[in-house]
Amino acid sequence: MSYRHFATLAIKGELVIYVVGSLNMDISATVARFPRAGETVAAESVLTSPGGKGANQATAIGKLGGDCAMLGKVGPDVFGEQMINNLKSYGVRTEHVTASQCESGTALIWVHKGNNRIVLNSGANGTLTETDVSEGLKNAKAGDILMLQLEVPLDTVAHALRVGKRKGMITMLNPAPAVQLGLEIYENSEIITPNETETQILTGIMPDCEVNVALAVKKFREMGASNVIITLGKTGSAVAVGKEITLIPAHKVKVTDTTAAGDTYVGAVAVKLSEGENIVDAAKFASYASALKITRKGAAVAIPTLKEVEEFIALRNATK
């Protein structure tokens, strides 16, 4: 399926965005500087909040008005209960978030001057199976959107993409954390959304200028990808559809915390695609949403709502 057919499938209010991915409890510490080996530094503040790339993307979709169903695993512990309740509070369906015998996934995050370093324990996320995915997607239909990341087993990701493609879903892969992928995964991903670092790992090319962005897109397509969105941090993002590469500038804001900025971006793209927007306009909206996110501390709790993004866009447009 080529991208130009996607919008004809979207009837606002009828499409579901399925997120297959991780749920982690984030424990985020703001520090004056990152510790060196063997060193202890004092935290300026500590924030505990539900996260994980899958759950963050589902949260973004729910907050931005999309109809979202989450598929994933949590542990039989208080973190698991909190993460499910958090998703429900944003309108995300959680009937296919099931309990594992493992502890819930956790992420230990250090934040310094808006940048972060993360240590991840996958926990229950590592137990998500192909059977879990098949059950969770049994009612999915053509035109629904399927979003995946790489914080659950790779075989499960590959299976989900096969199921999604067979059903005629719009399949989106956020290849994070980046690992080398088989051609089948690229071929079954209609939209792939790496950031700069992930692009370099996957293609060997750092997209630090327009020429290198084009070379990276070419490399992704040689591996089987169709449509590519590369997020470029403070530079913005590049959207490659067909022969066109559209560069979308970032919005200048005071950076507080970049955690979940990428998840906000791809969640926003999915919401707009489900409403019939074209991919470039969806990415422009996502750029506003992610810019607003990074002005706030935390992950899921700091992802903006649709109303907040609309107000942010209106304010930006009024001051141009």
263 as an active site residue: the answer is yes
Question: Which two tokens mark 246?
Answer: 């559209």
Using CA atoms in the order 211, 212, 218, 219, what is the torsion angle rounded to 10 degrees? 160
Q: Sign (positive/negative) of CA torsion 307, 61, 150, 299? A: positive
The candidate with the shortest Cα–Cα distance to 118, out of 255, 259, 231, 20, is 259
245 phi and psi, to 5 degrees?
-120, 115
Question: Which two tokens mark 58?
Answer: 């589902």
The residue annotated as part of the active site, out of 67, 132, 144, 263, is 263
Question: Which two tokens mark 287?
Answer: 């750029």
The candidate with the shortest Cα–Cα distance to 52, out of 60, 63, 41, is 60
In DSSP notation, 60-113 reads: HHHHTT--EEEEEEE-SSHHHHHHHHHHHHTT-EEEEEEE-SSPPEEEEEEEET
Residue type, 176: A
Q: Which helix (H) or strand (E) holds 183?
A: helix 183-187
Residue 220 CA neighbour count, 13 Å, CB half: 35
Exposed e or buried b per residue across 94-124, where buried means at least 16 C-beta atoms within 10 angstroms of its C-beta: bebbbbbebbbbbbebbbeeeebeeebbbbb
Q: Which residues are catalytic?
A: 263
